[in-house]
Structure 1
Amino acid sequence: MTSRTCLTVILAAGEGTRMKSSLPKVLHEIAGLPIVGHVAKAVQGAGGSDIALVVGRGADKVETSVRALVSNITVHEQVERLGTGHAVLAAQSAIEAGYDDIIVVFGDTPLIETSALEMAREKLAGGSDIVVMGFRPDNPHGYGRLIEQDGRLIAIREEKDASEAEKKIGFCNGGLMALRGDSALALLHMIKNENAKGEYYLTDVVEIANSQGKSVVAIEISPDNVIGINTRLELAEAEAIWQNRKRREMMLAGVSMQAPETVFFSHDTVIEADVTLEPNIVFGPGVSIASGTVIHAFSHIEGASIGANASIGPFARLRPGANLAAKAKVGNFVEVKNAKIGQGAKLNHLSYIGDATVGADANIGAGTITCNYDGYNKYHTEIGTNTFVGSNSSLVAPVSIGDNAYVASGSVITENVPADALAFGRARQEIKEGRAVQLRARYAALKLSKKAE
């Protein structure tokens, strides 16, 4: 299989009007990745390193999105919408380059699996000329039926043209197809538009190939593989399927989840075995978590790297650039952004640590914040190893606190603190004996006067 060259034609020129969106349909996201990006990833996994992207509306945006994932693509615009056969021929210049295998997929089927594409390529390698990917829906009504005879696919019959016997067939056309590269263009050019819509249907190559005595077969793939996205409702349904797949994959790989249905992953989430995920956790893009870590409930994590045996949450938020070493602890209602947290450091509760470095075994008290932004620019805070920062402290960047230093609770730190020093940065406390009685009387009189008005 690896010795065979492959071109995948991704058809992504649909209008997507039912999405009711200014964004091209194929750029709507599932698990943080555009729909067409999921297709491109599956294609790459099946060895389809070369991609011909057929675009229409929002061509530039669609091209940019796919190029961010794969480099070896050519882009072809389908100016007129004259059917799937016409769409594939928009990529004629790429097909002419010469490939062993040509795979045709749709840019709006994000649940297509690499294994399905590999199965189709294996059939081509075994001598088939055309491989049609079919599925068995719970209700076949409305789908084209795959008519087989002696192991060969002899026709694809649309329901309106099917006989009563053919309508009872449960094996349906998924629209995805693989063709031998040396005969693909000739077959595509033989497709006619002699139908009510005057369009060129890719499915017609089945009967054309059969008339030439070529080998045409159908393979069965999971119905999820051919789910196309046309509305926001279908987008949400596909997201749910993708998330369930990912949850299953994670748990089989050794990740523990107490309530899997409440955990949501990104397309690129990486979690090692023996990580525990409590309920109601959301992962944005760019997260990796090492073994032994526990993510407590109601945490939101994005763009973060978490070392082994760490503890996160509950109600923690890790934003892009958060980098936590082994055994670090980020507790409830703590937010970390663009900060390195050293091994064994503790940020237990109610704190914001941004644009900072926190040394190993440091202890950051409740309510501590790094004041990193002056309204125009951001500045860095350096907190040393084994440093103790008392509760309700504000560290005004740029500032550094040396190793083994202490910062008294309630301090506003604006100057560097040397190692092993104790820093106070708060107003001097004064006590006025009996003043509380006077204040209560004054406030009570003010309240009465307001009621009398």
Structure 2
Amino acid sequence: MVAVAILAAGRGTRMKSSLPKVLHPLGGRSIVEQVLQSLQAISPTRCLVIVGYQVDQVKASLAKIDNVFPFEFVEQTEQLGTGHAVQQVIPYLENFTGDLLVLNGDVPLLRTETLQQLLQTHKEHQNAATILTAQLPNPQGYGRVFCDEGNIVQQIVEDRDCSAAQKQNCRINAGVYCYRWSDLADVLPRLQSNNNQKEYYLTDTVNFLNPVMAVDVEDYQEILGINDRQQLATAYSILQERVKSKWMAAGVTLIDPDSITIDDTVQIQPDVIIEPQTHLRGQTVIQSGCRIGPGSLVENSSLEENVSVLYSVITDSRVAANTRIGPYAHLRGHASVGAGCKIGNFVELKNSQLGDRTNVAHLSYLGDATLGTQVNVGAGTITANYDGVQKHPTKIGDRSKTGANSVLVAPLNIGNDVNIAAGSAVTEDVPDDCLVIGRARQVIKPGWRLKRRGQDLEGRDRGEKE
């Protein structure tokens, strides 16, 4: 059995933010959610998230995520070091007889395979503790790990407590530990705060446990922690390189990978082409044959086969197969577009549902509207859906057409096979098979011209002599 303790109680003062450090976004998830994601394949028996700063905010954020294993919150009211944090889980694991994996909530790049290797080594060697280490080219700021020839740990010294000679050692402590819980539970009450920071270090447990083994991670970037905005940006770059490499290996074409960003949460099928300056966010799913971009943003949306999106923004929406979006279209607020549609230049859809083979080609706004199949929306058509107090729906039946510059004043129900004349303001429901003309009759006044100031009715200057 494996239990996990995630240290997520710190404030993260160097982030210069009121948001707890572990909740800062990273590739479609918060930092601590990325840590939880690395545990999915391990499926721990217990998962304890140790919280402290802005405890209610952290709890509320994590309560919203869809996790395959349950986790519990453990409160650390005072932040007195990593050892003190793990001491808080003692009552929660009173009868636990397995191993405890300790992770940091601000180290989000660990691969599942690395954690599995750590657990396997721990069990095979029957270690009291096994710690993850790395050989860093620049180990400044990290605690140093000193081992014998068999990777048995002799000593761990925090960076701030290292002598000049000890700082020459490049093997660092990654802050990831696997313990035999029964041994650790005996040791935790014996920790002392005899150091410069007056904190209880979890690293001091190696002085009381035997054997303790180190496992070097192959890619040291996995253990990089996040303490400030620059390190957050570095972690994002590493995560992006991983994500884009994964999708290119899976048959996705990225025309200019350096200009493209893809969240870790996005799903893409083979034979998708992503053009430059395109950004895919959140719970987005893109099916085979789509061409996205250049210059597009797709967030929390679903695109079916062979959809093209050009210089457009799609958020919280669904687009069916063989539909063209853009250039310069905006779909938002749970818009749904049917198959074989065209949503063209400067068109905005908000909370609207369009049937198959419906076209909105230019300069239109459809809000809270439901359109049937084969509807053609003329340029400049808008649904006036807001009366200043609440929103109202518009419904347009199959095969109906709106002329240019039509205004449909909701609530409104327009039937099938209706034609609306250009420039009409439609305020009443319309039955099937109708021509609707909702505009003032044209009036022509021959010989009329605009009188300028200082002229009489015949257009002569008032001071002019006859």
TM over 0.5, shorter chain: yes
Letter in structure 2 aligned against 1:83: G
- Report what 2:82 is aligned to: 84
Amino acid paired to 1:438: L
Cα distance, 1:432 vs. partner?
2.9
Q: Which amino acid aligns with 2:422?
A: S
Of 252, 272, 287, which residue of structure 1 is paired with 2:249?
252
Deviation at 1:336, TM superposition (A): 2.0
Task: Pick from 415, 431, 452 the counterpart of residue 428 of structure 2.
Answer: 415
Q: Which amino acid aligns with 1:184?
A: L
Residues 135 and 216, structure 2, Cα contact 8 Å, conserved in 1: no
Q: Secondary structure at the match of 2:351?
A: strand
**Which stretch shifts more, 227-236 or 17-26?**
227-236
**In structure 2, what residue type is equivalent to 1:172?**
I
Q: Which position in structure 1 is the counterpart of 2:450?
A: 438
Change in Cα spacing, 1:97 to 1:250, as seen in structure 2 (3 Å) is: farther
Which residue number in structure 2 is paired with residue 381 of structure 1?
A: 394
Counterpart pick for 1:424 among 437, 444, 461: 437
Superposed counterparts of 1:6-405, under 5 Å: 6-48=2-44, 50-69=46-65, 70=67, 72-98=70-96, 100-129=98-127, 130-154=129-153, 155-159=155-159, 167-210=167-210, 214-298=211-295, 299-405=312-418
Distance 2:269 2:204 in 1: 47
3-state SS in 2 of match to 1:224: helix
Give the CA deviation at 1:162: 5.4
> Which ranges in structure 1 are unaligned for 5 or more consecutive residues?
446-453
Q: CA RMSD in A?
A: 2.8
| Greater share of residues in helix | 1
CA shift digits 1:40-84 (9 cap, x unpaired): 222234323632111111101101111212472221221222210
Distance in 2, matches of 1:202 and 1:293, equals 50
2:464 is matched with which residue? none
Offset at 1:11? 0.9
Identity among equivalent pairs (%): 39
Change in Cα spacing, 1:274 to 1:227, as seen in structure 2 (3 Å) is: same
| Alpha-carbon distance, 1:215 to partner | 4.8
Distance 1:403 1:97 in 2: 69
In structure 2, distance between residues paired with 1:115 and 1:278: 32
Residues 151-197 of structure 1: per-residue CA shift (max 9 Å, x gap) = 32313244466577754443322112222334332233343333333
What displacement does 1:304 show?
1.9
Query: Residue 291 and residue 417 in structure 1: after superposition, are their counterparts in 2 closer, same or farther (change >3 A)?
Result: farther
Are the counterparts in 1 of residues 14 and 227 from structure 2 also a CA contact under 8 Å?
yes
Cα–Cα, structure 1 residues 13 and 215, in superposed 2: closer, same or farther, change >3 Å? closer
Q: Distance in 1 between matches of 2:262 and 2:329?
A: 16
Whether the 8 Å contact between 1:10 and 1:54 is mirrored in structure 2 is: yes
**Closer/same/farther in 2, CA of residues 157 and 352 from structure 1, 3 Å limit:** same
C-alpha spacing 1:250/1:217, structure 2 compared with 1 (3 Å): same
Deviation, 1:87, is 0.7
Q: 2:133 touches 2:214 (CA, 8 Å); kept in 1?
A: no
Distance 2:343 2:14 in 1: 44
Distance in 1 (alpha carbons) for counterparts of 2:123 and 2:367? 55
Q: CA separation of 1:383/1:221 partners in 2, compared to 1, >3 Å: closer, same or farther?
A: farther
Distance 1:428 1:59, change over 3 A: same
In structure 2, the residue corresponding to 1:438 is in which secondary structure? coil
Please tell me the residue identity of whatever aligns with 1:359: G
- Aligned partners of 1:149 and 1:364: how far apart in 2? 76
Whether the aligned pair in 2 keeps the contact of 1:143 and 1:173 (CA below 8 Å) is yes
Give the Cα–Cα distance (whole angstroms) in 1 for the partners of residues 159 and 19 of structure 2: 33
Q: Which amino acid aligns with 1:58?
A: Q
In 2: Cα distance, 1:33 partner to 1:296 partner: 24
Structure 1 range deviating more: 11-20 or 357-366: 357-366
**What is aligned with 1:450?**
none
Could you tell me how far apart the structure 1 residues matched to 2:123 and 2:344 are? 55
Q: Deviations over 1:119-144 (max 9, x none)?
A: 22232343443222223333223322
Query: Which deviations, in whole Å up to 9, do the C-alpha atoms of 1:328-358 show, x marking residues without a partner?
Result: 3322322222222323322223222222222
Displacement of 1:39 after TM fit?
Answer: 1.9
Deviation per CA, 1:82-138, whole angstroms, max 9, x where unpaired?
A: 210111111222333526332211222233333322222232343443222223333
Shift in Å, 1:380: 1.7
Question: Residue 327 of structure 1: CA displacement?
Answer: 3.0
SS at match of 1:38: helix
- Assess, with a 3 A threshold, how the Cα gap between structure 1 residues 282 and 387 changes in structure 2: closer, same or farther: farther
Closer, same or farther: CA 384–150 of 1 in aligned 2, 3 Å:
farther
Q: How many residues are matched? A: 436
Q: 2: distance between equivalents of 1:297 and 1:442? A: 53
**Contact 2:136–2:220 (CA<8 Å) still a contact in 1?**
yes
Change (3 A) 1:180 1:423: farther
Distance 1:417-1:157 versus aligned 2 partners, 3 A rule? same
Q: Which moved more, 1:12-21 or 1:71-80?
A: 71-80
User: Cα distance 1:383–1:215, how it changes in 2: closer, same or farther (>3 A)?
Assistant: same
Deviation at 1:375, TM superposition (A): 1.9
| 1:57–1:368 Cα change, 3 Å | same
2:133 maps to amino acid = G
Secondary structure in 2 matching 1:87: helix
Alpha-carbon distance between aligned partners in 1 of 2:230 and 2:88, rounded to the nearest angstrom: 30
Letter in 2 for 1:47: S
How far off is 1:371 after superposition? 1.9
3-state SS of paired residue (2:327): coil
- CA, structure 1 residues 160+238, in 2 after alignment: closer, same or farther (shift >3 Å)? closer
What secondary structure does 2:39 align onto?
Answer: helix
The aligned counterpart of 1:449 is none
SS of the aligned residue for 1:46 comes to: coil
Say which SS state the counterpart of residue 209 (structure 1) adopts.
coil
Corresponding residue SS for 2:242: helix
Contact 1:287 1:301 in 2 (8 A): no
